[in-house]
Chains A and B, each alone.
Chain A
Amino acid sequence: MTAIQILIDGFAISALYALGATGFTLIFGVSGVLNLSHGALMVTAAVVAWAASSELGLGAYAGAGVGVAVCTLLTLATYGLVVKPIDRSRAIPPEEKEIFILTGTLLWGIMIQEFIAYLFTSNAKTVRPIVEGVVVIAGVRTPWNQIFTAVICWGTIALLWVLVNRTRTGKVVLAASMNPRGVTLLGFELSRIYVAIWLIYGVLAGIAGVLLGQFLGVSPYSVGPLTASAFSIVVLGGLGSVSGSLIAAYVVGYLETLTAYLISPAYRTIPSLLLLVAVMYVRPQGLLGRR
C-alpha cells in the first residue's frame, strides 16, 4: 500500500523535477550559463496563472496559458537584460563572466521574487487544477491532477526530443550544445540560436511552474529552493546532459519521497544533499557528464 503510494507520488514529483531541470541544463549546455533566476521564473508562471484564473476569472486553461506566456517573455527578458549584456561586456574579464552571470541572474531573481510578494503578498498560491477529482489505483487514492502532471511533463519532454532530433533548428541547437564554435564555422549565427534556446527554456520553465502551482502550490519563498533543486539535479546528472538530468530528477525525486514517507517529512532533502556531495567527490562530472 505505502509502496505503491510512494511509487505513484514519487513518479509525479520526479516528472516535475525533470521538466524543471531540462531547460536549465539545456541553457548550460549551449551557452554555459547557470541561470540562478530559474526558481523565480517558475514561480512567476504559477502566480500569474493563479491570478489570471482566480482573480481575473479567465478559467483554468486560459490562466495556464497566460502563466506560460508571461514566464516565456520574462525568460527572454532575463537573457536580453541580464545575461547578454554581461556576456558582451568588455569591462568584465572572460574568466569572471561566470561569477557576474551568477550574481546578475541571482539579483534578477530576487527582483522578480520581491515584485511578486509586493503585488500578491508572500503567502502561498495554488493554481486551479485543470482536472479535478481522484481515481483509485491499486488501492491508492490518486488525484487525477497528479496523473495529469506526469503526462504533461513527459509529453513536453517527448516533444522537446522530437524538436531536437527531428527538426533543423533542433539539430543546430544540439550541435551548438556540443560545439558552439563549430556551429558558427558552419555559418549559423550563435546569437539567434541563443534566443531560440532561451525561448524553449522559457516555455519549459513556464509549463513546469504552472504544473507545480497546481500540484503543490508556490510562494515567493519557493524561489530559492526551486533554483537549488534544479541546480543540484543538473549537477548530479552531469552539467549539460539532458538525459543525465532526467535520470537525476528521478533519483532525487524518489529519494526525497522515500525519506518523507519512511523516515520523516522533516528530513526530506537531507539524503539527496548528501548524495550530491558524495557524487561530487567521487565523480565530479556527474552521472552522465562529458567532462
Chain B
Amino acid sequence: MLHTLLRSPLLWLTVIGLGLAAVLPLWVSGYILGLLTVAYYFGVFSMAWDLLFGFAGEVNFGPTFLIGLGAYSAGILNGHGVPIALCLAAGAAAAVIGGVVLALPALRVRGPYFGLTTVVAVLILQNLIVVFAETTGGEIGLTVPDVISIDAATNYWIALGFMTVSGLILFAIATSPVGLILQASGQDPVEAGALGFNVAKHKLAAFCVSAVFSGLAGALLVFYMGTASVGTLVDVSVGVQVIIAAVLGGRRTIVGGVLGAVFLIAAGELLRPLGALSTFVVSAAALVVILFVPAGLLGLLTRQGQRA
C-alpha cells in the first residue's frame, strides 16, 4: 500500500533528480563533484540501513561494522597486489560474512539489545583494527596503492551509477512481496510468524542484502579516496551520520537516504564559513527536522508528513 501511495510523485522526482545529476559535470567544478561523490556513497549506506530499519524494523546502530569490513578487506587485499575488481567483490563478500556472523545471534534479541549488539560489533572491529595495526594501518589508516580514477567526473559518474543501481535494487526488494513480509515481521513478528512466514529467515536475508551494498559502497569509497581509516569509515560517529541521513531524508522510503546524505554534505559545505560551528548547526537543523517533520525531507516533498 505504501508503495502505491509513494510511487507516482516519487518516481518523477527521482527521474528528474537523476537526470539533473547525470549532466551536472558539465556545469560544476571538480570540487563540487568530489563532494557529491562522497555524498552518493553515503546515500547507499543510508539506503542499505533503511532496508533494515524501515522495512525489517531492526535498528542497526552499527552500519559501519559492515561498511568497515568491506572497506578494510578490499583495501588490505589491494595492498597485496589484488586487482581492484576482485577487491570489491571480496569487500562485499566479507561484509556479508560478517553480517551473517553478527545477525545470526543478534536477531535473537530485540529492541535496544539488538541496537547495542550492533554498536558493540563496531567497537570490537575498531579495537581489532588498532590491535592489528601491522596489517590494517591502525589508527593511522591504510593507504591503498590503486585508485579507480583520478578524474573527478569519472569518479562522480561511477558513484552516481552505483547509487542508482543500488537504489533500484533496494527499492525493488522493499516494494516486493518480500518487502511486505519484512514490514509485517518488523511491526508484529508474532503475527507474521503465525501467518506462516519465517520471520528470522527474511530478516537474515534483509541483513545480507544490506551488508552487500554497505560493503561494496565502503570498498568503492576506499578506492575513491585512496585511504581507509577508522575515523572516516568505521567510527560510531560515521554510523550516526548514516542513520541521521536516512531519518532526515525520510525513513521507509529507501531513496530518502540519498536526499539526506546530499543534504548533510551540502549543508556542511554551505556552512563552512562558520568554521568550527558548522557541525553544530547541521546537527541542530537535523534535530529540528526530526522534531517537527518526522517523515523527513521526502515526506515534506511528497506531502506525506502528516500521515507517515
Binding site for B on A (CB under 8 A): 34, 82, 85-86, 89, 91-92, 95-96, 98-100, 102-104, 106-108, 110-111, 114-115, 117-118, 224, 228, 231-232, 235, 239, 266-267, 269-270, 273-274, 276-277, 280-281, 284
Contacts and interface: CB of A to CB of B under 8 A. Distances in A.
Interface residues of B, number: 44
Interface in B15-37: none
A124 to B, nearest CB: 17
Given A98-B111, A284-B108, A111 B290 contact: no
A223 B105 CA distance: 29
B interface majority secondary structure: helix
B291 A280 contact: no
Contacts of B105: 281
Contacts of A34: 112
A110 B294 CA distance: 19
Contacts of B109: 280-281, 284
Contacts of B187: 95
B306 A107 contact: no
Given A107-B283, A231-B116, A284-B113, A98 B127 contact: no
B277 A270 contact: no
Contacts of B295: 91
Pairs A-B, 6 closest by C-beta atoms? A114-B280, A107-B287, A110-B283, A284-B109, A92-B294, A118-B276
A108 B109 CA distance: 27
Contacts of A270: 124, 127, 131
B279 A110 contact: yes
Q: Interface SS of chain A: helix, strand, loop or mixed?
A: helix
B116 A118 contact: no
Nearest to B284: A111
Contacts of A239: 112
Given A89-B294, A111-B287, A106 B240 contact: yes
Contact of B290 (A107, A114, A281): A107
Given A103-B290, A266-B130, A232 B277 contact: no
A281 B117 CA distance: 9
Given A231-B119, A284-B109, A104 B279 contact: no
A273 B291 contact: no
